[in-house]
Amino acid sequence: MSTTALAPLSSRAVIALSGPDWRSFLQGLITQDVETLAEGELRLGAILTPQGRLLYDLFVAGTQSGALLDVAAQHREAILQRLTMYRLRAKVEIAASDLTVIAAFPTDGTVENRPGLYRDPRLPGLGARAYGLDIAPTTDEGAYDAHCLALGVPGPADWLSDKTYPIEANFDLLNGIDFKKGCFVGQETTSRMKRRGLIKTRMGPISFDGPPPAFGTEILAGERRAGEVLSGREGRAMAALRLDRIEAEDLTVDGRPVRLDLPDWLAVS
């Protein structure tokens, strides 16, 4: 019998899109295809800089009247401003919503079927998300963050706005980029990296003994830099890893041995 944990995500906020042009408006801005998004479906995407760097992650949830954008709460106002700037004459309504965001994730097996859940498009083990449902929480956001880290899935705490390419944050492996949809802001660089294999760094989990090193602490392969630590907790952290050096047997951080713990879904080649 599976058990579903329900965690309110105070770090996330919602933007509502509606109007006859919302699909065509959003289609040219984000990494994900929304022309085929169905009601009740959730897709991962991102807003990039024109140079192809990751500005903001987002989920797009299909609704009867349009879509909901699930975004980082600290960036919602900036995203609203950016969307409004691009709206021009498009017939689309863009508004902040007070809907809450809830993560429903499995603690054993798979998530139970519940009305109003949107299946997480990244990995089955991440469960689902819900918006505005009156559900009593059973755990907190910290438990959900630990669950994501256990699966090796990076999040907004691991990338800084305008510093990381989405492929480095594994958006291509987590169904966050549609390479067949056509043009979007930052598409040229993103497609070229994928097509030419110009991927030197990816995010992946590491294990160690003790508390997590500070964000940005160097990971060394002998005396050579092999990456840096990102967000983490006791015994485990996400890291930005140089793909040409992660096979070294003498990885260390702060003088401590580091063990790579890459999940099966993460193809680093």
The residue that leads in pLDDT, 248 or 66, is 66
pLDDT in tens, 70-109: 999 999 999 999 999 999 889 999 999 999 999 999 987 7
Sequence-separated (6 or more) residues with CB below 8 Å from residue 58:
30, 44, 45, 46, 47, 69, 70, 71, 79
The CATH number for 123's domain is 3.30.1360.120
Q: Are 22 and 111 in a shared domain? A: yes
Q: Are 126 and 231 in a shared domain? A: no
Q: Are 29 and 129 in a shared domain? A: yes
> Is residue 240 a contact partner of residue 168, using CB atoms and an 8 Å limit?
yes
What is the DSSP annotation of 154-177? --GGG--TTTS-TTTTTTTTTT--
Q: Is residue 267 part of a domain?
A: no
Q: Are 134 and 13 in a shared domain? A: yes
- Whether residue 1 is predicted with pLDDT greater than 50 in this model: the reply is no
Q: How many CB atoms lie within 10 A of CB 192?
A: 11
> Is residue 92 a contact partner of residue 25, using CB atoms and an 8 Å limit?
yes
The bridge status of strand 128-131 relative to strand 218-221 is: unpaired
> Is residue 172 a contact partner of residue 121, using CB atoms and an 8 Å limit?
no
The residue that leads in pLDDT, 110 or 216, is 216
Positive or negative: CA dihedral 83, 86, 87, 90: negative
pLDDT in tens, 2-28: 588 999 999 999 999 999 999 999 999
Running DSSP on this structure, what letter comes out for residue 30?
Answer: B
- The domain boundary, picked from 99, 120, 139, lies at 139
At residue 56, the pLDDT reads 97
Q: Are 131 and 205 in a shared domain? A: no
pLDDT in tens, 172-221: 999 999 999 888 998 998 988 888 777 889 999 999 999 999 999 999 99
pLDDT mean across residues, the chain = 93
Tell me which residue range forms the domain holding 8. Answer: 3-139
The CATH number for 204's domain is 2.40.30
What confidence tier does 114 reach under pLDDT thresholds 50, 70, 90?
Answer: confident
Q: Which amino acid is at 252?
A: T
Q: Are 244 and 132 in a shared domain? A: no
Q: Is residue 158 part of a domain?
A: no
pLDDT in tens, 23-61: 999 999 999 999 999 999 999 999 999 999 999 999 999
- Residue % of the chain over a pLDDT of 70: 98
How far apart CA 152 and CA 7 sit, in angstroms, is 19
Q: Please report how many Cα atoms fall inside a 13 Å half-sphere around the Cα of residue 176, on the Cβ side.
A: 26
Residue 65, sorted as left (phi over 0), alpha (psi -120 to 50) or beta, turns out to be alpha
How far apart CA 13 and CA 68 sit, in angstroms, is 10
Cα-to-chain-centroid distance, residue 125: 14
* Total structural domains within the chain: 2
> Is residue 162 a contact partner of residue 82, using CB atoms and an 8 Å limit?
no
- The domain boundary, picked from 139, 164, 183, lies at 139
- Whether residue 142 is predicted with pLDDT greater than 90 in this model: the reply is yes
At residue 58, the pLDDT reads 98
The angle at the Cα of 181, spanning 179 to 187, to the nearest 5 degrees, equals 60
Q: Is residue 144 part of a domain?
A: no
Q: How many CB atoms lie within 10 A of CB 81?
A: 10
- The domain boundary, picked from 139, 154, 177, lies at 139
Q: Are 11 and 84 in a shared domain? A: yes
Q: Are 109 and 206 in a shared domain? A: no
- SS3 category, 75: helix
